[in-house]
Structure 1
Amino acid sequence: MFLSLLFSPPISDYDVFKKEKDHGFFESQEAIIVLSTYLQELLKNIKGLDEKSLKEEFLKLLQVSLWGNKCDLSMSAGADNSQKSDPLLSVEELKPFILVDHMEKLWSLLINKKNMNKQTTRLDIVLDNAGFELTADLILADFLLSSKLATEIHFHGKSIPWYVSDTTRRDLNWTIKQMQAANHKGMSRCGVCWEGYLKNGLWIYHDHLFWTSPHEYCRMAQVAPDLYSELQKSNLIIFKGDLNYRKLIADRKWEFTVPFHQALNNFHPAPLCSLRTLKCDIQVGLKPGQGEQLTKTEHEWMIIGKYGIIQFDAAS
């Protein structure tokens, strides 16, 4: 009964969080202009970049996507969650706060696929927040496609409004339309290009009710075998944000040093990575003593969004 109401007009098109999501996008315009301008300049010379330069750009935009996860309405209790500063300038400044850094492993996976002249390299992004974070994710996806580090990008979002600022199909389409209509050349070019990617099937958006279910992800193969089979087609899955991380490791209070692979509890549809700023009190895969030392120096380090992880599992 409840689900049938959610998918019936007029409530099916109603998002109680729309105003706050849209506000987060508009208040982040300066940062979005910086990113879109940077991307457009980068794409002019993308074919001429050597492998070292390509790697540098990948690592930079990956970190921008990571720290975009700070812009979370559930964290700010609905207050202004916009990105005010230049996200590119803050990359080096924030790097010491990445507690688990597997960027090199991600790079190795993608560049090896590219150098093998693999016909298709599919990358999936399980989205988190709309607003600035979504825009940063789209910037990264555009770079990956344009550099041929990926040949198709699949986005996974919520089928209904969920957890305040979580991304839905409407949020994706709305963001692209706003980019197109912007009175700024870089933003507008991004929007036109992104709409083209969707029309041509280079970007594909999926939604599934599993993402709003209570199940931990190790149950996906049994509860949503169609979604699990879809993810098995991927060469790399990036899970954005805190709630995805909680469900990846079953929202349990693991010891800090428990390996990520173990905490995933046989959830291995494909190589996967978590990009997350820490906003809840669970974390695995730390070095011995690392978590305890952080607790001594900064008691709330796990919940304040100051620290991040780029945590990779190669799958079995």
Structure 2
Amino acid sequence: MAADQTAPVSLSARVVGSFAYLTVRDRMPTILTKVIDTIHRNRGSFLEQHGEEGIEAEKKTIALLSKLRNEMQTDKPVLAVTDGLPDAGTWNRYLQVQQRLQGDREPVSWFRSPWLYVECYMYRRIQEALWLSPPISDYDVFSEGKTLNYLQSQQAVMTLCSYSESIRENMAGLSHKQLSEYFTSLLQVSLWGNKCDLSVSSGRDNSQKTSPVDSLSGLQPFILVDDSKLVWTALTAGQPAGRVDIVLDNAGFELVTDLVLADFLICSGLVREVRFHGKSFPWFVSDVTAGDFRWTIGQATAADHEHTSQSGLRWQSYVRTGAWSYRDHPFWTQPHAFCDMEADAPDLYTQLQAADLVLFKGDLNYRKLTGDRDWDHAASFAAALRGFGPAPLCSLRTLKANVQVGLQPGQGGELTCQDPNWMTTGMYAVIQFYSPRAED
């Protein structure tokens, strides 16, 4: 873990009434309850697929998750991971580090530990409960919600794919300025797609119902930091066209916005390769896994809508030729801040160094970029990254947690006067850029 005595304290549920406190007290137990209910509702399919062994696995998983929920609600000590999966040792070493940081005064527990750590830990314990309950170990407890989000966003998906196809049809005649304008529009569509976050809505319907393109002008005043021009400059600075990496957030409609942006990057010739980084197991309710990535492209390809299916077929060809690739890494499903990546996951850090631009989608990635600490709102994005900078990077994030940096002096106070919950509603957003090359 990066040692930095000047960094502010980690956000935690210690502060009664804080967003972290309310998340651990209310939202996380609600998510666990929905997971338990999902597993119970599917006991019939477990029986059909696996016989009585499936029913026993269902019972065991529910017992383990119920125990986990009780530990959380009663602020019990955080326990070591016991499933023996390859990342278990990393999680347990992290727990030991947290205990050393807290000293002998108190155990590492749900309400007295960094919020980022315990929230990530809950999802790892869900994975443990399933892994310890074969033959349903590979069951995605969040699949139903992710599928529903996509299906309920069909009109928006069709509208966006039609917009994408119209750009592509006129691509040859576009000027550099027009390319820039389309890039900015699609970057903002990808940004606002991040509002569809099922972990924040505790699994409730949060699909996209309106046209994502027509909404952009009305949403512009809510972008608190807009570094779109810096992102465009970084993207077009390299010759020949290089590689963009997208560290994904949510499946469903948000993933479609990311795929449409990546499609534009390839079709325009701005880049030759896009690498998507997702999660290796179900995570934060709606985060993208390899299965979600393949399923979404398959759904688009099979759609009974010309422009959507055309987009899907092209996306399939990108995957087939290697212009697009999906990758996961254990680091993305661990509680580390990204400033620890170079030390804790040097292979991943080296991969990102080869990119010309890295786009980090969503709120959790922003929390990890900034260490999920109690930063002053006027602190610079560069300072909050605490040395993390494998390549030029940009955070596309709608605000759903109480950490935000890079604002103008006094701006945070003004926003608080207007709405005390401005950091957690998803109403505001940032397109925030940093380049380590600018400091060379």
- Give me the TM-score of the superposition, normalised by structure 1: 0.96
Pairs within 5 Å for 1:72-151: 72-113=197-238, 118-151=239-272
5+ long unaligned stretches in structure 1: none
Residue from 313, 317, 324 that aligns with 1:196: 317
Q: Secondary structure at the match of 2:158?
A: helix
SS of residue paired to 1:124 = strand
Matched, 1:183 2:304: yes
Corresponding residue number in structure 1 for 2:279: 158
Higher relative contact order (CA 8 A, sep 6+): 1
Unaligned runs of at least 5 residues, structure 2:
1-82, 87-127
Structure 1 stretches of at least 4 aligned residues deviating more than 2 Å after TM superposition = 1-13
Residue 369 of structure 2 corresponds to residue 287 of structure 1: no
Residues 1:268 and 1:30: Cα distance change in structure 2 (over 3 Å):
same
Alpha-carbon distance between aligned partners in 2 of 1:8 and 1:202, rounded to the nearest angstrom? 38
Q: What is the 5 A alignment of 1:207-246?
A: 207-246=328-367
CA displacement, residues 147-189 of structure 1 (integer Å, 9 cap, x when unaligned): 1111100000000001100000000000000001110011101
CA distance in 2, matches of 1:9, 1:232: 39
Q: Secondary structure at the match of 1:166?
A: coil
Supply the AA of the counterpart residue of 1:62: L
Q: How many Å apart are 1:247 and its aligned residue?
A: 0.5
Residue of structure 2 in register with 1:3 after alignment: 85
Q: Secondary structure at the match of 2:271?
A: coil
Alignment match, 1:71: 196
Aligned-partner Cα distance in 2 for 1:294–1:112: 35
- Aligned pair 1:298/2:298, yes or no? no
Query: Secondary structure at the residue paired with 1:3?
Result: coil
Amino acid of the structure 1 residue aligned with 2:432: Q
Task: Kindly state the Cα deviation for residue 108 of structure 1 after the two structures are TM-superposed.
Answer: 1.2
Whole-Å Cα distance in 2 between the matches of residues 40 and 3 of structure 1? Answer: 44
Between Structure 1 and Structure 2, how many residues are aligned?
A: 312
Q: Partner amino acid for 1:119?
A: P
Q: 1:16 corresponds to which residue?
A: 141
Structure 1 residue 76: Cα displacement: 1.2
Please say if residues 241 and 269 of structure 2, whose CA atoms lie closer than 8 Å, have aligned partners that are also in contact.
no
Indicate yes or no: 2:415 matched with 1:276.
no
Q: How far does the alpha carbon of each residue in 1:255-280 deviate from its partner, in whole angstroms, 9 at most, with x for none?
A: 01111011101101000000000000
What secondary structure, in the 3-state scheme, does the structure 1 residue paired with 2:350 have? helix
User: Judging changes above 3 Å, is the alpha-carbon distance between structure 1 residues 33 and 232 closer, same or farther for their aligned structure 2 residues?
Assistant: same
In structure 2, relative to structure 1, the CA distance for the partners of 1:243 and 1:86 (3 Å cut) is: same
Question: How many Å apart are 1:42 and its aligned residue?
Answer: 1.0
- Report if the CA contact (8 A) 2:234-2:392 is conserved: no
C-alpha distance in 2, partners of 1:7/1:104?
49
- Give the structure 2 partner of residue 168 of structure 1: 289
3-state secondary structure, aligned to 1:138: helix
Matched residue type, 1:112:
A
Report the residue type matching 1:196 in the other structure: S
Distance 1:18 1:235, change over 3 A: same
| Secondary structure in 2 matching 1:78 | coil
Per the TM alignment, residue 8 of structure 1 is displaced from its structure 2 partner at its CA by: 10
Q: How many percent identity over aligned positions?
A: 53
Letter of the structure 1 residue corresponding to residue 368 of structure 2: K
RMSD across aligned C-alpha pairs, in angstroms? Answer: 1.4
The residue identity in structure 1 corresponding to 2:151 is F
Residue type of the partner of 2:170? N
Report deviation, 1:119. 3.1
The SS at the match of 1:66 is: helix
Query: Structure 1: how far apart are the matches of 2:400 and 2:344?
Result: 27
